[in-house]
């Protein structure tokens, strides 16, 4: 009997180096990785920076539906059975470095490498659960609590055990778009959070995670 071969596929190496069907790209703030209506022909893996995923309505109103942080995929529409055209836009919020993986190469690795397929499947599951939580948040929570929840999500990338988290730069316009509110209301909520000791901000926002989570339970 021939023993099962042990895969030596290096997932981290694949996701952090260029190669056949893979290209490292660098974008400055406000540059677009792709626009709504572009062909969905590749998936991106973000190395550094932050990316805004947004959608534009037929009336020209833009809504931010997700913020991508380092070590996450985006542009996953390209992996649909019939990918077609992009239904969202992806724009760099800060200077970004990412790996662009062409759809044929992504499909090849998904079929041949179980470790990679498992990583991407877990990512898709996490996105699905987050989308459900966001929908419940929009339906049942007032705007102030939606903002508090969003700030905690943005603070998730801090080191384990840290009570304070300095989140990546983000404008009040983007925060308002993500919670379905307006900039003046977000400004008022942020001022209240600061007075209550939940956050500090002077250009960048520092979140007191323990205090803000107590506010969400009230």
pLDDT at 200 > cutoff 60: yes
Beta-carbon contacts of residue 188 (< 8 Å; ≥ 6 apart): none
d(CA 180, CA 176): 6
Angle at CA of residue 120, ends 139 and 38, nearest 5°: 75
Q: Domain spanning 11-137: which superfamily?
A: Jelly Rolls (2.60.120.10)
Tens-place pLDDT, residues 138-147: 666 688 888 8
Selected residue with higher pLDDT from 149 and 163: 149
Kindly report, as residue ranges, where domains of CATH 2.60.120.10 are found in the chain: 11-137
142-217: which CATH topology?
A: Arc Repressor Mutant, subunit A (1.10.10)
Tens-place pLDDT, residues 41-99: 999 999 999 898 988 888 887 878 888 989 999 999 999 998 899 999 999 988 999 99
**Stretch 176-202: mean pLDDT, rounded?**
88
């Amino acid at each position: 009997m021939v023993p099962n071969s042990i895969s030596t596929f290096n997932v981290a190496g694949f996701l952090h180096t260029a190669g056949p069907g893979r290209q490292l790209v660098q974008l400055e703030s406000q540059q677009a990785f792709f626009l709504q209506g572009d062909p969905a022909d590749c998936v991106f893996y973000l190395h550094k920076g932050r990316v805004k995923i947004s959608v534009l309505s037929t009336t020209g109103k833009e809504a931010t539906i997700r913020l991508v942080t380092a070590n996450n995929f985006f542009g996953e529409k390209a992996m649909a059975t019939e990918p077609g055209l992009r239904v969202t836009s992806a724009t760099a919020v800060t200077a970004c470095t990412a790996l662009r993986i062409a759809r044929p190469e992504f499909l090849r690795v998904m079929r041949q490498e179980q470790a990679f397929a498992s990583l991407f499947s877990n990512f898709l599951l996490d996105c699905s659960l987050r989308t459900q939580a966001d929908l419940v948040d929009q339906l049942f929570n007032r705007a102030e609590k939606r903002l508090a929840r969003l700030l905690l999500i943005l603070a998730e990338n801090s080191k384990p055990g840290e009570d304070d988290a300095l989140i990546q730069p983000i404008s009040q316009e983007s925060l308002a778009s993500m919670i379905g509110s307006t900039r003046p209301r977000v400004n008022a909520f942020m001022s209240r959070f600061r007075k209550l000791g939940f956050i500090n901000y002077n250009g960048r926002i520092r979140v007191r995670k323990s205090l803000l989570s107590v506010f969400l339970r009230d």
